[in-house]
Chain A
Amino acid sequence: QQPVQSPQAVILREGEDAVINCSSSKALYSVHWYRQKHGEAPVFLMILLKGGEQKGHEKISASFNEKKQQSSLYLTASQLSYSGTYFCGTSKTGPGNQFYFGTGTSLTVIP
């Protein structure tokens, strides 16, 4: 039920790009992306609800594939402030509606 993220960790130099993937064996109702800096609370980035949807701005954007089983987060021209752990999250319909965070991706941007 918990989405699987890849990679588990990535180290970038400032200005480099990164892609974080979030996958599920079943279709997801929605995908949420959050970033958590060390010692802080998760902070919302964006939500995708529709298959084929793309959202965000030129620096940080995300996509949701047509089958709604995979989402990717794109970080372009990374900055030091992008460092943190990125989580995708998804809802499950039916009895006992729950929200599941993914396994997390640690991203470190170095000068």
Chain B
Amino acid sequence: DTAVSQTPKYLVTQMGNDKSIKCEQNLGHDTMYWYKQDSKKFLKIMFSYNNKELIINETVPNRFSPKSPDKAHLNLHINSLELGDSAVYFCASSPRRSSGVLQETQYFGPGTRLLVL
């Protein structure tokens, strides 16, 4: 009964390919996020999605697109993968976002380790 789950755990692919990472949360949370953690362990938010409101970090290339079929799922699609996309991608969720800012605990998935060759 994992709270936030991601698949796959590991993803190795060639440059130029298109891939997806899936995320599901069974906590009933309203807001979901995608983070990228690079080799230096810097964690950067990519997207947050709340009641159909998508907030995008302006530094994220448009090759990355989140897709939410319902409140419990937020998938990440990546087109034309590049070497620099290699990183660990974390999905997270929180109960809600109050007054436009994050006041709640975020629960993280186990991460997807992406390696682009």
Contact = CB atoms under 8 A, between A and B. Distances in A.
Contact of A104 (B35, B41, B90, B111): B41
A92 B102 CA distance: 9
A41 B9 CA distance: 12
A103 B42 contact: yes
Contacts of A96: 55, 58
Contacts of B69: none
A87 B44 CA distance: 12
A99 B33 contact: yes
A44 B43 CA distance: 14
A42 B35 CA distance: 11
B86 interface: no
Nearest to B56: A96
Interface string B46-72: 001000000101100000000000000
Contacts, number: 65
Interface residues of A, number: 26
Contacts of B44: 101
B26 interface: no
Contacts of A85: 41
Given A41-B109, A87-B43, A99 B102 contact: yes
Q: 7 closest pairs, A vs B, by CB?
A: A41-B108, A91-B101, A101-B43, A91-B102, A44-B105, A97-B100, A99-B102
Interface of B: 33, 35, 41-45, 48, 55, 57-58, 90, 97, 99-111
12 contacts: A30-B101, A30-B102, A34-B106, A41-B108, A44-B105, A47-B104, A91-B102, A96-B55, A97-B55, A97-B102, A98-B55, A101-B45
